[in-house]
Amino acid sequence: MRIPKSLAALGHVFLSLSTASTAQQQPLLDPSNEASSTSQWRFNFSSEAPHYFASVHGLLQQWSNTFFPNGHSIVPCEIAPFTKLYHGRMDGDVPPSPECGMAYGIMGGSRNSHMLTYQTTRRVKCIYFDGESATLFGSGQLDSQNLQIWGNISGPARPGNGFRGLYDEYARAAGLCDWFREQNLGGPGWGYEGIVRMNAGFEMIWCNFSSPSIRLISHLNITAPLLPEGGTNVMVTEQDNVSSASYCPLPLSERDTNVVVKGQEDVYPTSYYPLPPSPTRSDKATDPSDPPRPPVGGKPEWLREPFFPSQAWSWYMSATQHYGSNGDGPGRGETHVKPISCGFLTYYSPEFLSQAIPRAKEEQKSLNLTKEGLWAGPGEVGIRGKTLQALTRRRRLHDLQDITPSDAATMRQNSEKVLRDLLSDSPANCSGIEWTAMTNDIVQTYGSSLFNFLHALEKFENITVTNKTLLRGWMVDVRDQTHAFLLPFLEYPDEDASEDVWVRDSSLFKATYSRCRFQYTRLLDPEEGVSLGPEELLLKWAIEETTGGICSALVDIGLAVEGIWESNFNIPVNNTSESQMSTKLKSEVSRWTSGIEELMAWLGWAGEWVRCEERCAWDESCFIPMWPLIPFPRRRDGGGGGPGRGPPNNRPGYGGPPYGRPGYGRPYPYADFPSPPNNGSTGRRPSRGFNPWQSNEDDLWSPRCVKSDYILKGREA
- The pattern of x and - marking residues 258 through 297 that bind ligand NAG according to CB under 6 A reads ------------------------x-x-------------
In 3-state terms, what secondary structure has residue 43?
coil
Q: Is 462 in the site for ligand NAG (CB under 6 A)?
A: yes
Strands 214-221 and 114-120: antiparallel
Q: Is 112 in the site for ligand NAG (CB under 6 A)?
A: yes
Query: What is the number of the residue whose Cβ is closest to ligand NAG?
Result: 379
In 3-state terms, what secondary structure has residue 128?
strand
Q: What does the alpha-carbon distance between residue 305 and residue 630 come to, in Å, rounded to a whole number?
A: 21
Q: Is 597 in the site for ligand NAG (CB under 6 A)?
A: no
Four-point Cα dihedral 176, 180, 182, 187, nearest 10: -120
Q: What does the alpha-carbon distance between residue 197 and residue 199 come to, in Å, rounded to a whole number?
A: 7
Q: Is 161 in the site for ligand NAG (CB under 6 A)?
A: no
Contact between 505 and 5 under an 8 Å Cβ cutoff? The reply is: yes
Q: Is 240 in the site for ligand NAG (CB under 6 A)?
A: yes
Q: Please tell me the total number of residues recorded for the chain in this structure.
A: 717
Residues 6+ apart with CB under 8 A from 290: none
Contact between 598 and 375 under an 8 Å Cβ cutoff? The reply is: yes
Applying CB under 6 A, the span of 190-198, 236-244, 334-342, 662-670 interacting with ligand NAG comes to 236-244
Applying CB under 6 A, the span of 1-9, 376-384, 434-442, 623-631 interacting with ligand NAG comes to 376-384
Residue 238 or 528 with smaller CB distance to ligand NAG: 238
Strands 124-129 and 190-199: parallel
**Distance of closest approach, residue 383 Cβ to ligand NAG, in angstroms:** 7
Contact between 192 and 422 under an 8 Å Cβ cutoff? The reply is: no
Hey, which residues between 401 and 420 contact ligand NAG (CB under 6 A)?
A: 417
Residue type, 94: V
Q: What does the alpha-carbon distance between residue 516 and residue 498 come to, in Å, rounded to a whole number?
A: 23
How remote is the C-alpha of 493 from its chain's centroid? 42
What are the residue ranges of helices labelled H in 108-242?
143-150, 169-182
In 3-state terms, what secondary structure has residue 62?
helix
Q: Is 47 in the site for ligand NAG (CB under 6 A)?
A: yes
Residue 52 or 627 with smaller CB distance to ligand NAG: 52
Residue 545 or 562 with smaller CB distance to ligand NAG: 545
**Distance of closest approach, residue 633 Cβ to ligand NAG, in angstroms:** 24
Residue 158 or 635 with smaller CB distance to ligand NAG: 158
Q: Is 470 in the site for ligand NAG (CB under 6 A)?
A: yes
Four-point Cα dihedral 351, 354, 355, 356, nearest 10: 60
Contact between 344 and 72 under an 8 Å Cβ cutoff? The reply is: no
Q: Judged by CB under 6 A, which of 461, 499, 698, 716 binds ligand NAG?
A: 461
Q: Judged by CB under 6 A, which of 8, 20, 40, 151 binds ligand NAG?
A: 151
Q: What does the alpha-carbon distance between residue 185 and residue 97 come to, in Å, rounded to a whole number?
A: 17
Q: Judged by CB under 6 A, which of 10, 13, 27, 204 binds ligand NAG?
A: 27
- The pattern of x and - marking residues 473 through 512 that bind ligand NAG according to CB under 6 A reads ----------------------------------------
User: Nearest Cα to 690, choosing from 396, 323, 424?
Assistant: 396
How remote is the C-alpha of 377 from its chain's centroid? 28
Q: How far apart are the first and last CA of the chain?
A: 52
Q: Is 381 in the site for ligand NAG (CB under 6 A)?
A: no
- Rg over alpha carbons for the chain, rounded to the nearest Å, is 28
Q: What does the alpha-carbon distance between residue 480 and residue 489 come to, in Å, rounded to a whole number?
A: 15
| Sign of the C-alpha dihedral computed for residues 348, 350, 351 and 357 taken in this order | positive
Residue 86 or 206 with smaller CB distance to ligand NAG: 206
Residue type, 344: F
Contact between 56 and 443 under an 8 Å Cβ cutoff? The reply is: no
In 3-state terms, what secondary structure has residue 192?
strand
| Number of residues forming the site for ligand NAG (CB under 6 A) | 54
How remote is the C-alpha of 426 from its chain's centroid? 31
User: Nearest Cα to 415, choosing from 26, 147, 24, 205?
Assistant: 147
Q: Judged by CB under 6 A, which of 132, 168, 372, 562 binds ligand NAG?
A: 372
Q: Judged by CB under 6 A, which of 376, 397, 456, 705 binds ligand NAG?
A: 376
Q: Is 686 in the site for ligand NAG (CB under 6 A)?
A: no
Q: Is 30 in the site for ligand NAG (CB under 6 A)?
A: yes
Q: Is 40 in the site for ligand NAG (CB under 6 A)?
A: no
**Distance of closest approach, residue 132 Cβ to ligand NAG, in angstroms:** 22
Q: Is 682 in the site for ligand NAG (CB under 6 A)?
A: no
Q: Is 343 in the site for ligand NAG (CB under 6 A)?
A: no
Q: Is 208 in the site for ligand NAG (CB under 6 A)?
A: yes
Q: What does the alpha-carbon distance between residue 622 and residue 672 come to, in Å, rounded to a whole number?
A: 22
Q: Judged by CB under 6 A, which of 362, 458, 613, 698 binds ligand NAG?
A: 458
Residue 354 or 368 with smaller CB distance to ligand NAG: 368
- The pattern of x and - marking residues 525 through 544 that bind ligand NAG according to CB under 6 A reads --------xx----------
Q: Is 696 in the site for ligand NAG (CB under 6 A)?
A: no
Residue 426 or 469 with smaller CB distance to ligand NAG: 469
**Distance of closest approach, residue 635 Cβ to ligand NAG, in angstroms:** 25
Q: What does the alpha-carbon distance between residue 105 and residue 88 come to, in Å, rounded to a whole number?
A: 9
Q: Judged by CB under 6 A, which of 184, 243, 286, 467 binds ligand NAG?
A: 467
Q: Which residues bind ligand NAG (CB under 6 A)?
A: 26-27, 30, 37, 44, 46-47, 92, 97, 111-112, 150-152, 154-157, 188, 208, 210, 221, 223, 238, 240-241, 282, 284, 350, 368, 372-373, 376-379, 417, 421, 428-429, 458-459, 461-462, 467, 469-470, 533-534, 571-572, 574-575, 679
